[in-house]
Amino acid sequence: IYCGAYDVKDNIAKMAATMSNVDEIRNRVILGEFNVKNVHTTDYPGNYPGYDDTWSLQKFQKNFRIDVVQMDETCMEFDMVGIDASIANAFRRILLAEVPTMAVEKVFIYNNTSIIQDEVLAQRLGLIPIKADPRLFEYRNAGDEEGTEIDTIQLQLKIKCTRNHQATKDSADPQELYLNHMVYSKDMTWVPIGNQADVLADANIGPVHGDILLAKLRPGQELDIVMHCVKGIGQDHAKFSPVATASYRLLPEITLMKTVEGEKAERLKRCFSPGVIELENHGGKVVAKVMNSRLDTCSREVLRHDDLKNAVKLARVRDHFIFSVESTGILPPDVLVSEAIKVLMAKCQRFLSELDSSEME
């Protein structure tokens, strides 16, 4: 296996300094000018003579690590090193589509005299994130129309717009003229069913954000709506997705193959994102040095310049994933990642028990 786009003489000369060809194919994704090389995982047993690639949990545990870079209530950035792309992608897919949440599913409209149509209003209500821990609830049984206290949250929106008689005679500001003319998500109130008032007393159940504008009213118009929230997953409808988004990127690696100095160094610095390349003073001359390749967005701009493209090698580390998870506020991002890992375990368990039960027959 030979990735032959490089000048062979250069490669042989640099062999001592850079990693060997085989290690590069195994560990790096090379970003070329017109293509990307070594994309697929190749370290399966039997592919490389001299390497033992059979799965070993001890070897995995030794090489695997997680580093949390930044974390707050909604957003989290962490590194997962030493894992394969298929598993990292599985976690990302589960975060987007298979971690359950509660969202408005059934909207009972008793009165809607606003200009927002029933179905449009119902769709907007469905997309509002509801702050309720989905682990405390169960899925609704198929065919069950009523809903019980263990699988349903009931919310109510009852609001009427009236004229403000205290407003000045010739005011044109709707804020002054009307009362309750903007319907926000904070106007949605929780109506406990059954024993929810005792069990969930201190859980503040309601929308995560109170400032989502749902409808605008004028005097005489009113909304009288009851909503039922159920547990669901993003695969069914995107309103159930618990993340604003969850994504990952591979750690970029930039190596300078030649020393770049003077005016070329200045141009090289401008080809990358700020902070990646810094200029150092070596005996009066400015020399470029790679400071922090993690900040790079891999635009490959440097490969557009003929005099600079042979001085740099752009690659990505194949098993280093920089995850970014942004939650909608229902669950904190670290809880979301833990739940995603548990979902993947549950999937495996489901098939294992299926295999065991069919074996017994």
Partner 1 sequence: MAGVDGEKKPVLEMVQADGADEGCVTFVLHEEDHTLGNSLRYMVMKNLDVDFCGYSITHPSESKINFRIQTRGAVPAVEPLRRGLTELTDLCQHVLNTFEKRVSEFRSQCEEAE
| Interacting residues with partner 1 (CB under 8 A) | 41, 44-46, 53-55, 57, 60-61, 64-68, 71, 78, 80, 83-84, 86-87, 89-90, 93-94, 98, 334, 337-338, 341-342, 344-345, 347-352, 354-355, 358-359, 361
Minimum CB–partner distance for residue 317 and partner 1 (Å): 18
Question: Residue 308 has which token pair?
Answer: 């600079």
Minimum CB–partner distance for residue 79 and partner 1 (Å): 10
Classify each residue of 179-214 as buried b or exposed e, where b means 16 or more C-beta atoms within 10 Å of its C-beta.
bbbebbbebbebeeeeebeeebeeeebbbbeeebeb
Give 270 or 350: the residue with its C-beta nearer to partner 1: 350
Give 137 or 323: the residue with its C-beta nearer to partner 1: 323
Q: In which residue are the tokens 């929780």 written? A: 190
Minimum CB–partner distance for residue 350 and partner 1 (Å): 7
SS3 content of the chain, % helix, strand, coil (to 5): 30, 30, 40
For 175, other C-beta atoms within 10 Å of its C-beta total 11
How far, in Å, CA of 25 to CA of 68, rounded?
28
* CA angle, residues 171, 220, 170, in degrees to nearest 5: 10
How far, in Å, CA of 65 to CA of 88, rounded?
13
Minimum CB–partner distance for residue 99 and partner 1 (Å): 12
**Do the Cβ atoms of 279 and 269 come closer than 8 Å?**
yes
Give 86 or 166: the residue with its C-beta nearer to partner 1: 86
Closest CA to 337 of 89, 99, 83, 64: 99
Minimum CB–partner distance for residue 178 and partner 1 (Å): 45
Give 85 or 298: the residue with its C-beta nearer to partner 1: 85
**Do the Cβ atoms of 314 and 303 come closer than 8 Å?**
yes
The amino acid sitting at 264 is K
Minimum CB–partner distance for residue 254 and partner 1 (Å): 27
Give 135 or 163: the residue with its C-beta nearer to partner 1: 135
Give 53 or 138: the residue with its C-beta nearer to partner 1: 53
Question: Residue 244 has which token pair?
Answer: 């604003």
Minimum CB–partner distance for residue 177 and partner 1 (Å): 47
Give 32 or 82: the residue with its C-beta nearer to partner 1: 82
For 249, other C-beta atoms within 10 Å of its C-beta total 14
Minimum CB–partner distance for residue 143 and partner 1 (Å): 13
Using CB atoms within 10 Å of the CB of residue 119, give its burial: 0 to 12 exposed, 13 to 18 middle, 19+ buried.
exposed
Give 133 or 149: the residue with its C-beta nearer to partner 1: 133
How far, in Å, CA of 338 to CA of 328, rounded?
16
